[in-house]
Structure 1
Amino acid sequence: MLKRILSMSIVCLMLLMISACGTPAASNSSSGSSAASSSEASSAGTSAPEAEVFKEVTLRYLGINWGDIPFNRPGNSGVADRIAEKTGVRIDFVDIVQPTDFNEMVNLKIAAGEKLDLISMSGDRKDHKFYVNLINEGYLVNIKGLKIPNLEKYYNPDSLKLLNYNDGLYGIPREAPERSFTVLIRNDLLKKHGYEMPKTFDEFINTVSAIGKAENIKVPFPMPWNDGYNKLLGSFIKSVEGNWKDADGSIKPYYLHSGYVDFLAALKKMYDTGVLAKDFSTAVYAEWEEAWVNGNYVATMYSMPLLAAYNEYVGKTVPGFEVALVPPLKGTIDGVYQAENDKVYLITAITKDCVDLDAASRYIDYVNSPEGFQLAYYGVEGVNYKVAERSDDFVAVDPSFKSGLEGENVYSSAYRVGSSDKLNNSIGLKKNKEYLKIQSNFSSGRGDDFGFVYDENTFKSKNILTAMKDLIKVETIKVIMGQSSLDNWEKAIKQWYDLGGQDYIDDMTTQFKAK
């Protein structure tokens, strides 16, 4: 997953939405006529013209299962109705398939002559050949010829450039964070065997292999986040489905989409109710219990760098145990290109069989605007996000981190509010390039939030914000970054609940509930 939790984590990402900012193509196309109509209305003394009404079109969509979408859930037809009202487009989800099965599924449907209007495919470099093949076969429409007014204005030029082919553009990019996972390594073993922190994938693989052989570790590089993390969240989901349902039967947001504090609170709730085993590390890593509890590994990939938890819990059984974050590695691993500018992880394209190109372009333009993204993914529109805390006095593990954090907003993942650069800029997340390098070392872009955002239009429990800010700065961040114990973390979370944390949860649940 969350490539993708939370896909929550909810989520990542899981997802099928792409990110960008702007208004529907329709609103742009009506701007000229609006001006003329306004002039006529003024002279005639009549009111301004109403918004354009579209004849509803149904588009068949095949996508990747990288996250849930509210208007594809039973009982949430109201969200689909609202999107149809805005764009004139109703989506018929032909199928939502796993990333590993997607290319084969598309080929099968093409061979069977099945008509699809929209598809979303993986944007990884290893899948770029598939994208090019679809273009060469004439299956995708060149969207440069379509009316998508926000295309050049709101999308990252580098991401668009990656999808250009023969002077054409055949897909809309969704941009991934600079790092979609976190690599952890046993720092104590690096020191013990005299190795430097690896800087490339080749160095990393050679170092891990050598240490694994020297330590007689059979699996030096386990990746528990695929199964262990999903099982953890799966247990949580099952525990709340029974009493976290709306009147229409749809499940309320169980992760609350508001940042790291919510995730810690959710973990604490699972811990208290017995959903999470009392041995925190055992519960998180499920079948990797032996490797993690006994420190029997050299390195791993994970999307939630709770370093203090690793160091404290595993350190009780392994003297000198110390996990460190590996800086972004350059090179290749398993043939997958991981260059820093390779940010496109999802491509949405219009097929040659599309029944209405104007409707498809209008839908793409709207759903990837801030308003459309919020409505389609979260089931809510009109939110006005604010960063709730600044990091002027952000505590840091190492002085080298501090310059990139001072004066900048506390990081809250782009996944929470849509992942376009323009939207991120609007809340100050991309103003400091050095800060970006720092946060990419700590974040998966999903659950690893160092801060949180709130909607000042609807958030009611303002008094809790101050308490939460203090808790983030004083205890929570210290724990995440390895400067404080989990005992202090638990005290902070308890204090947060005592100050009215449940009110905050209720507010956020209401805020993001599908309308």
Structure 2
Amino acid sequence: MKKWLSISIVGLLAASMAAGCSSGKPAATGKDNNPAPASAPDKTGAPSASSAQDELKDKLELNIMAISYEGGGWPANNPMIDYLNKKFNIDLKFQWISQDNYKEKLNVMAASGEFPDSFLLMKDDFLKWRDKGIFLDIKPLLAKYPNLAKQLGGEEQLQFMSPKGKYYSFPYYQIETQTSFGIRKDWLDKLGLQMPQTLDDFYNVTKAFAKQDPDGNGKNDTYGFSASLLANKTDFKHIDQIKAAYGLVNTWGLKDGKVISWHSQNKELKDFAAFMAKAYAEGVLDKDFAINKVKDPQDKYEAGKVGIDDVVPNVFYQTIEPNLKKIDPKGETVQLLPPKGPTGLQGTATNAITQRIVINAKIDAKKQDRLMKLFDYLVSDEGNTLTKNGIEGVHYKKEGDKYTKLDAFDKDRPILISAWYLRRFDLNTQIRLWDDKTMVDNVNKWFKNSEPFKWTNVAAGLESPTDTKNGTTIDQKFMTALIKVIMGEQPVDSLDQAVEQWKKDGGDKITQEYNEAYQQTQK
């Protein structure tokens, strides 16, 4: 994981099209699922004219560092690396660092002053080093790379978190309303229940799922819903819709023009905690919610042990539903819109695009240009197809209008660039050429249905030095108090003390800093 490898990134998809299966060369495309013919004019922005070839005559080594998740990164001899090396006359190397050690690795590099040519950063590290002269301002260069200007969210996203007039990073795209509740419709039908509309409905349905043997196995072995904590244990996962229904803000929100934290919303917190405590005490909420790993609720849904889960739609159709069908062939899931809270509020899990890709300002102009050419290609029509599906004839084949995945796709995982590093703003970023059209339509419908329920963190792109330094510690302390209430170990009113302690430990200072930063954005 800690040695330089040839290329990788975040992902789910890759794409490509070729003049012939044997060549392994992707052809230009129009829309993702409608490849253009091989004779279509080049839309990629990749070098093609003789002058452009002259710019590529010197072979350059490009080093990129990315976060590695399950399964690690690409080995040095991956076909995707070979293809890009040849296309751009480069020796492309990726240093794959596991998510658990990534921050530590960055700090070591910062101490030595030796950063890679390009690397991925989370919000805190980006803001920490943004004004240190480490990152290349890409704004003056963008005119030469039209795909980067067009396909990465435009000026708003390129400017995000940089000083006015500077573009110090590219965004790592995440679908804002990426997740949605899915509910076992076959369980509803078996128990004679209607789709829940309100939180009260939600509770009654999930209690029935827990108590009325919806799977018909004669055992008391199901829960209504589950949850987990985030990896850093500062918040919950899988139940944002319940928090939003009670009027809690998404970490940070606005009230009367001021930035507030959910940690300071006494009434809303106590209402939410009372709901969760009741669900826990009555066996409606998964008893292991506080020790679950992030993916455990999904695994339990797939295993038929939970009736509602917060899922990513494309992952649902590609993975969760097939796994559920193996357990229960009659299992049927439909989308459940966020339940309405006591005052009619609704919201769903909403991502902020705070992961950023930067280019090292210290590398020479030739390397800067070659990286920009590479990145511009990756978000072009052709590059988007390549990074979502792989190389035609290697990772998939095309016969007429039909596309078929080949075994090498799962072995080579050509999607890692798109999945773990750089990809265009594309709702279908996780959809492949061979995916069933009905499934694709269903995924897009889920995304469209969730769009009206955005629940935005207003401080996502703002900086608070105190939050960066101490926020995780005081948030974890607060979560410990909240979990004790939910598990019945402390009364609900004890949250008043937890709120005051959070403020005293640094919450008030963090709130002040975020308000000052927010006011600067309003000028």
TM range (shorter): 0.3 to 0.5
Normalised by the length of structure 1, the TM-score is 0.45
- Give the TM-score of the pair, scaled to structure 2: 0.45
